């Protein structure tokens, strides 16, 4: 079977523009959760967010394209450029040889709020020509495909926070069917008044006013998460194609994927972690690995007591108590919905490269009943296999297995 390699990554995240800046920020243990700028979020009982404050879209996106697109798409366009540059990837002669398969949770929020505002305040003629192409969930995928000339089989998945992993799951099907390169991952930009209001109704956001008190995954004082923006886009290539073009650096190999659904309730998670644990087992079986082979788990880290306990139960069911190091890098940035799981994949690959496990931030008192080996200080480790977990609101569970790349397949 052909092997699937990650050959490029582009990060646009609260922790940095570009993978290296992101990596330095979280290794330093520097939280990017701050009071939300740009509007008075206090109205919504939420004051903190993970914004990408140093993102200057003009530096990444052509002016004509900027006016046609939402902030979420600017970030996708920027991340796609960074990923291709990182991989040294230029559009091959066969335009069908590259696909774009991104996840989106919430679409073009701020752009759309402006247009609906105009419509209701001033009438239909106030709606601009770009609303029809800026807000729908496929806008970023379409714009990346058009700008970069990629004509391969492309798609958009929506599974809330699990989307970043699910885009990789679907990309594997595309590669199996003969397309050698796929851009995956995604970004999200939900920090504008209406989108934030919508997210507060999930009941899962922290209302804490100080970053030290907010998003505290696996801590006794866990009280919800903080919304962040941004994400990551990765270039996946089939091994033969990557080598044929003389790829110089491989971040890692995608070796397994599993997805399940709780199918329990329209918003409450299943009271046991059976399906979540099963997603992990399916991904390991898919990879031909056992729990003992896994060196690190990057957790979904929902940051509510109930959801954290369920994740700890799933990890415990597969790996045993304190059975594997667990880290939650999203604690530094907030949760970026579909972009967050994509960013966690980038972080996992950086960890594989450097043999460094990044810490989980903002944890003072881990819940002992979780029985997790929660990494709270940067740790050196000989990493070979990393599992990345993600959940989506409503019961989506996804698990991705990454492995350090060796030209000879490990026995």
Strand 296-298 with 325-327, pairing = parallel
Shortest distance, CB of residue 303 to other proteins, whole angstroms? 15
CB-based contacts of 113, cutoff 8 Å, min separation 6: 192, 193, 194, 195
Q: Compute CA 360 distance to the chain's CA centroid, rounded to the nearest angstrom.
A: 16
Work out how close the CB of 390 gets to other proteins at its nearest, in angstroms, rounded to a whole number: 12
Extract the tokens encoding 122.
């001033």
Output the furthest CA–CA distance in the chain (Å, rounded). 67
Q: Among 263-271, 314-322, 323-331, 348-356, which window interacts with other proteins (CB under 8 A)?
A: 263-271
Q: What angle do CA 183, 107, 167 make, to 5 degrees?
A: 30
Contacts of residue 292, Cβ cutoff 8 Å, sequence gap at least 6:
none
- Both tokens of 273, joined, read 């972690």
Tell me which residues in 70-99 interact with other proteins (CB under 8 A): 95-96
Rounding to the nearest 10 degrees, give the CA dihedral for residues 173, 177, 181, 182.
-30
Of the candidates 44, 55, 74, 405, which one interacts with other proteins according to CB under 8 A?
Answer: 44
Instruction: Compute the chain's Rg from CA coordinates.
Output: 20
Specify the length of the chain in residues: 411
Indicate whether 185 belongs to the interface with other proteins (CB under 8 A). no
Task: Please state the closest distance from residue 102 (CB atom) to other proteins, in A.
Answer: 10
Contact between 212 and 31 under an 8 Å Cβ cutoff? The reply is: no
CB of 47 to other proteins, least distance (A): 14
Work out the angle between the directed axes of helices 338-354 and 19-28 (0-180°, nearest 10): 80
Please, which residue, 100 or 226, has the CB nearer to other proteins? 100
CB closer to other proteins, 253 vs 262:
262
Stretch that binds other proteins, among 43-51, 234-242, 296-304, 315-323 (CB under 8 A): 43-51
CB of 69 to other proteins, least distance (A): 9
* Interface region with other proteins, contact rule CB under 8 A, candidates 49-57, 153-161, 309-317, 375-383: 153-161
363-402 positions binding other proteins, by CB under 8 A: 392-396
Regarding 158 and contact with other proteins (CB under 8 A), the answer is: yes
Window of 75-83, 114-122, 231-239, 345-353 that interacts with other proteins by CB under 8 A: 114-122
Q: Going residue by residue from 200 to 229, which x/- string records binding to other proteins, judged by CB under 8 A?
A: xxx---------------------------
CB 78 within 8 A of CB 232: no
Contacts (CB under 8 A) with other proteins, residues 309-338? 337
Among 7, 47, 81, 131, binds other proteins (CB under 8 A): 131
Closer residue to other proteins (CB): 31 or 98 = 98
> Can you tell me the distance from the alpha carbon of 407 to that of 253, in angstroms, rounded to the nearest whole number?
10
């Amino acid at each position: 079977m052909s092997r699937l390699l990650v050959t490029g990554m582009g990060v646009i995240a609260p922790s940095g523009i570009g993978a290296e800046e992101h990596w330095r920020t979280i290794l330093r243990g520097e939280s990017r959760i701050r009071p939300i700028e740009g509007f008075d979020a206090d109205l919504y009982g939420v004051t903190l967010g993970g914004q990408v404050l140093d993102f200057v879209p003009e530096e990444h996106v052509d002016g004509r394209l900027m006016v046609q697109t939402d902030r979420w798409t600017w970030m996708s366009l920027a991340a796609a450029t960074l990923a291709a540059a990182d991989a040294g990837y230029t559009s091959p002669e066969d335009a069908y040889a590259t696909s774009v398969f991104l996840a989106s949770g919430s679409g073009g929020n701020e752009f759309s709020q402006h247009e609906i505002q105009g419509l209701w305040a001033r009438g239909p003629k106030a709606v601009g020509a770009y609303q029809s192409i800026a807000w729908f969930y496929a806008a970023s995928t379409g714009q990346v495909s058009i700008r970069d000339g990629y004509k391969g089989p492309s798609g958009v998945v929506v599974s809330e926070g699990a989307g970043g992993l699910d885009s990789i799951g679907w990309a594997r099907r595309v590669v199996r069917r003969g397309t050698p390169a796929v851009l995956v991952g995604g970004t999200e930009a939900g920090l504008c008044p209406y989108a934030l209001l919508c997210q507060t109704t999930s009941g899962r956001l922290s209302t804490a006013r100080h970053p030290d008190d907010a998003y505290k995954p696996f801590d006794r004082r866990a009280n919800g998460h903080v919304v962040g923006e941004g994400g990551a886009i990765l270039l996946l290539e089939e091994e033969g194609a990557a080598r044929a073009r003389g790829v110089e650096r491989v971040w890692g190999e995608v070796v397994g994927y599993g997805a399940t659904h709780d199918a329990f309730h329209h918003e409450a998670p299943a009271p046991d972690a059976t399906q979540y644990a099963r997603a992990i087992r399916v991904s390991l079986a898919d990879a031909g690995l056992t729990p003992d082979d896994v060196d690190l788990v990057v957790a979904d880290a929902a940051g509510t007591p109930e959801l954290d306990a369920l994740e700890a139960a799933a990890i415990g069911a597969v790996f045993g108590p304190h059975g594997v190091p667990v880290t939650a890098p999203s604690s530094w940035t907030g949760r970026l919905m579909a972009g967050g799981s994509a960013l966690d994949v980038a972080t996992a690959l950086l960890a594989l490269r450097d043999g460094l496990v990044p810490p989980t931030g903002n944890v003072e008192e881990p819940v002992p009943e979780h029985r997790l080996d929660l990494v709270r200080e940067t740790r050196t480790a000989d990493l070979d296999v990393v599992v990345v977990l993600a959940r989506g609101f409503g019961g989506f569970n996804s698990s991705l297995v990454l492995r350090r790349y060796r030209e000879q397949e490990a026995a």
